Chain A
């Protein structure tokens, strides 16, 4: 299994509070991604990073920010959590080679906003 961990694994928080989720990898992969997964929507990309301090938005980036100060860590922050951000959040990593870009996923963080 790829060396990817996410913390916390479960979190319950109140509307309006800031929340930070952490993704940590030991593979030295250049690319890191944050997705959310909801019933009926599948996996949707929030933000991704293609190197230290290099990030870009995905399709559902509103209300989220990210930071990557080290290769191994990619943080996702919900600036002011809302109930619509209740979801399962997955981090993924990849190291593109040629035309391939296989991604490997962390175990997920289940976030509930009450």
Chain B
């Protein structure tokens, strides 16, 4: 079983909508989690770190549920510029990150 799994989407949402992605992980030893954003033909860029129960940054909220072994990303008031692929990542200590395959989001005018 893949260590990190994401719904590949695509999620097609209108501008202004709220959208949520989930990511499940199988390694219960994972301590740190991250969400990355990747635009087409570009490198992944760190969006948010999730160290404890959750994290909020403007329109973006990340939640961690250790009991159910999933993390989520909530985007409120979606903008056209939010269209991208969102990658979920988990790690334990200094071990290399394990990336999910990504969830594609398209925000439509």
On whether the two chains bind one another, the answer is yes
Using CB atoms and an 8 Å cutoff, list the residues of chain A in contact with chain B: 31, 33, 40-43, 45, 48, 50, 58, 90, 96, 99-108
Chain B interface, number of residues (Cβ within 8 angstroms): 21
**B21 CB–A CB distance under 8 Å:** no
Do A42 and B43 form a contact, CB below 8 Å, given A31-B94, A100-B51, A101-B93? no
Nearest B-chain residue to A41, judged by Cβ:
B101
Do A43 and B44 form a contact, CB below 8 Å, given A96-B93, A102-B49? yes
**B46 CB–A CB distance under 8 Å:** yes
20 A/B residue pairs, CB under 8 Å, sorted by A: A31-B94, A40-B101, A42-B99, A42-B102, A43-B44, A45-B97, A58-B96, A90-B44, A99-B51, A99-B93, A100-B32, A101-B91, A101-B93, A102-B46, A102-B49, A105-B43, A105-B45, A107-B43, A108-B42, A108-B43
Q: Are B32 and A99 in contact (CB under 8 A)?
A: yes
Chain B residues near A105 (CB, 8 Å)? 43-45
Nearest Cβ on chain A to B41's Cβ, whole angstroms: 8
How does the 8 Å CB contact mask read for B80-109 relative to A, with 1 for contact and 0 for none? 000000010001011111011110000000
Do A43 and B45 form a contact, CB below 8 Å, given A96-B93, A99-B51, A100-B32? no
Chain A residues near B49 (CB, 8 Å)? 100, 102
Cα distance A79–B31 in the bound complex, in angstroms? 36
Chain A residues near B100 (CB, 8 Å)? 42
